[in-house]
Chain A
């Protein structure tokens, strides 16, 4: 029976051929938690009373959400996590190492794996042809302790993206366009699978941007086939032996096909307070939106390439008076690469503030919370009311280039005039 990417990857971990709609128990290659969901996972693991972790080499704790910590209660939660690591022998990525999903992409995630993480953006790993999906703390407790979980093999939606992306238009614009088209629940319980020549030319960081936002359409995962781009990423990260071919089968059943003509795309913006509330930057609604803060970072746009995209716009320019420019590199490796490539100078000269690697301002508890009535344009993944720490503020989502252009003008702006 021809298989979708989701069917193929789940079958590989269920020990038999599985088709969409079936419930299966699967072997989990890796399970991880972060510092907001992790303390509850540790409690549940202790309650289960079994092994703390089935295999310490297949479990990790990331301290990325409050990193370095801004609250005493969370700092105490961090102690609980570090104690768990010491007791269980699992991996620890402490403050400043970076966002879980991006560190995983650098160090662990490989084609053909199946992973679960206590963070909704775990689907990020689909960029590397790995079946990665987010779950809650208790599910991850079970996956860590037993090495297994149960799941429904999802139906799949085929997203066919064709043509060359125009100048100033990026993978972020592709995924915002898709979510605007199918809606914030357009792929609920489903696997979004991306194909077409546009996708074939995308680097892994560009694919990460798309895969990570699958959940913003309700998707269980956002998957790409492995190919030369995958091989190149693994080579850059000294893991080329981890490569394997993961392809869908011709004739596999997709419940729906969505076609996107990349050549027709323009920079996109998601308006508050819903990710699917999208407008092209050329829409009159975008004409006069004052921006108090421009934010670059998050698991969706926290790779080097994302900051490079913004730096091309900001080079030799400065943020407008009254507009704060805040930057959070996704990982320590990204941070180092930004220094080496001179990006830090570009951002500092543009009036930017550079935070330590991690989730930064995205989860709304630190380093970039907004004031009442303020607007922020961010290269993040969600803009729900209260997301950046204040229910009286407004978050607009866009590509790093659009964020950079908006910083320069102090209002939502089209990046194409700076490129």
Chain B
């Protein structure tokens, strides 16, 4: 899967991704997804294309545990979130819903670069720059959850956690 990089700064909170004022859309995810990242970059939600990458800085996804944040990023067609670092709950939520989230040096990526994720190889490729950005390996349980499209699929298959 490859797509275009959308750059975001440090400390993109879940309030910026899925704002509290749209809480009334919490049970209508496709409608909530129309407001994804609205308070961070308003043009993103109307211009994002299937396969695109959200590229953040430090501490991406801090704040609330609302799983709606990664869910609507995924619903918007994003194939991967890359950041220098992630807040814990957001990271875990991404994996649980089958949205790859990888820690790479995102300073090397510019807005609009064409990116490609190679999960098995553990690299994010910047095709525009000809760069290979490695990310730290995830625990096996997390790659297994991702491989099943999320935690529900994983548990249906394994009937429990296999660490």
Chain A residues within CB distance 8 Å of chain B: 23-25, 36-37, 39-40, 44, 47-49, 65-66, 71-74, 76-77, 80, 117-120, 122, 134-139, 141-142, 146, 148, 150, 152, 184-185, 188-189, 215, 218, 220, 274, 363-365, 369, 382, 384-391
Q: Could you say which of B16, B65, B66, B92 has the most chain A C-beta atoms within 10 Å of its C-beta?
A: B65
7 cross-chain pairs, A with B, having the tightest CB-CB distances, nearest first: A364-B20, A136-B67, A71-B24, A136-B93, A185-B59, A384-B13, A365-B23
Residue on B nearest A47 in the bound complex, by CB: B152
Name the B residues within 8 Å of A141 (CB-CB).
Answer: 152
Q: Which one, B15, B92, B152, contacts A48 given CB within 8 A?
A: B152
Residue on B nearest A66 in the bound complex, by CB: B23
Let me know if B59 and A136 touch, CB within 8 A: no
Which label, helix, strand, loop or mixed, suits the secondary structure of the B interface?
loop
Bound CA span A151–B152, Å: 17
Task: Indicate whether B55 reaches chain A with its CB closer than 8 angstroms.
Answer: no
Let me know if B67 and A40 touch, CB within 8 A: yes
A interface footprint on B3-21 (CB within 8 Å = 1, 0 otherwise): 0000000010101100111
Q: Could you say which of B66, B139, B150 has the most chain A C-beta atoms within 10 Å of its C-beta?
A: B66
Q: Which one, B24, B85, B152, contacts A185 given CB within 8 A?
A: B85
Let me know if B163 and A24 touch, CB within 8 A: yes
Bound CA span A249–B53, Å: 45
Let me know if A364 and B26 touch, CB within 8 A: no
Let me know if B39 and A386 touch, CB within 8 A: yes
Bound CA span A123–B141, Å: 24
Bound CA span A387–B139, Å: 33
Besides A138-B97, A146-B160, A150-B163, 11 other CB < 8 A contacts? Answer: A25-B160, A48-B152, A74-B24, A119-B65, A120-B63, A135-B93, A138-B152, A188-B87, A365-B20, A382-B13, A391-B39
**Chain A-chain B contacts (Cβ-Cβ < 8 Å), number:** 149
| Known pairs A184-B62, A384-B63, A390-B21; A36 contacts B26 (CB<8 A) | yes
Let me know if B87 and A274 touch, CB within 8 A: no
A interface footprint on B85-106 (CB within 8 Å = 1, 0 otherwise): 1011100110011000000000
Let me know if A150 and B156 touch, CB within 8 A: no
Let me know if A136 and B20 touch, CB within 8 A: no
Q: Which one, A47, A48, A364, contacts B19 given CB within 8 A?
A: A364
Name the B residues within 8 Å of A382 (CB-CB).
Answer: 13, 15, 63
Let me know if A385 and B26 touch, CB within 8 A: no
Task: Indicate whether B151 reaches chain A with its CB closer than 8 angstroms.
Answer: yes
Let me know if A37 and B66 touch, CB within 8 A: yes
A8 to chain B, nearest CB (A): 20
Residue on B nearest A382 in the bound complex, by CB: B63
Bound CA span A417–B42, Å: 44
Bound CA span A365–B155, Å: 34
Q: Could you say which of B16, B63, B67 has the most chain A C-beta atoms within 10 Å of its C-beta?
A: B67
Task: Indicate whether B64 reaches chain A with its CB closer than 8 angstroms.
Answer: yes
| Known pairs A36-B23, A73-B24, A138-B97; A48 contacts B64 (CB<8 A) | no
| Known pairs A135-B89, A137-B67; A385 contacts B15 (CB<8 A) | yes
Bound CA span A120–B59, Å: 15
B57 to chain A, nearest CB (A): 11
- What are 14 A-B pairs with beta-carbon distances under 8 A? A36-B26, A73-B25, A122-B65, A135-B65, A136-B66, A150-B161, A184-B59, A188-B87, A189-B88, A218-B88, A364-B19, A365-B21, A385-B15, A386-B20
A145 to chain B, nearest CB (A): 9
In residues 1-58 of chain B, which contact A (Cβ within 8 Å)? 11, 13, 15-16, 19-21, 23-28, 39, 58
Bound CA span A407–B59, Å: 33
Bound CA span A39–B97, Å: 16
Let me know if B85 and A363 touch, CB within 8 A: no
Name the B residues within 8 Å of A189 (CB-CB).
Answer: 88
| Known pairs A74-B24, A365-B20, A384-B16; A136 contacts B92 (CB<8 A) | yes
Let me know if A386 and B16 touch, CB within 8 A: yes
Bound CA span A132–B73, Å: 28
Let me know if B152 and A385 touch, CB within 8 A: no
Residue on B nearest A137 in the bound complex, by CB: B67
Bound CA span A73–B24, Å: 6
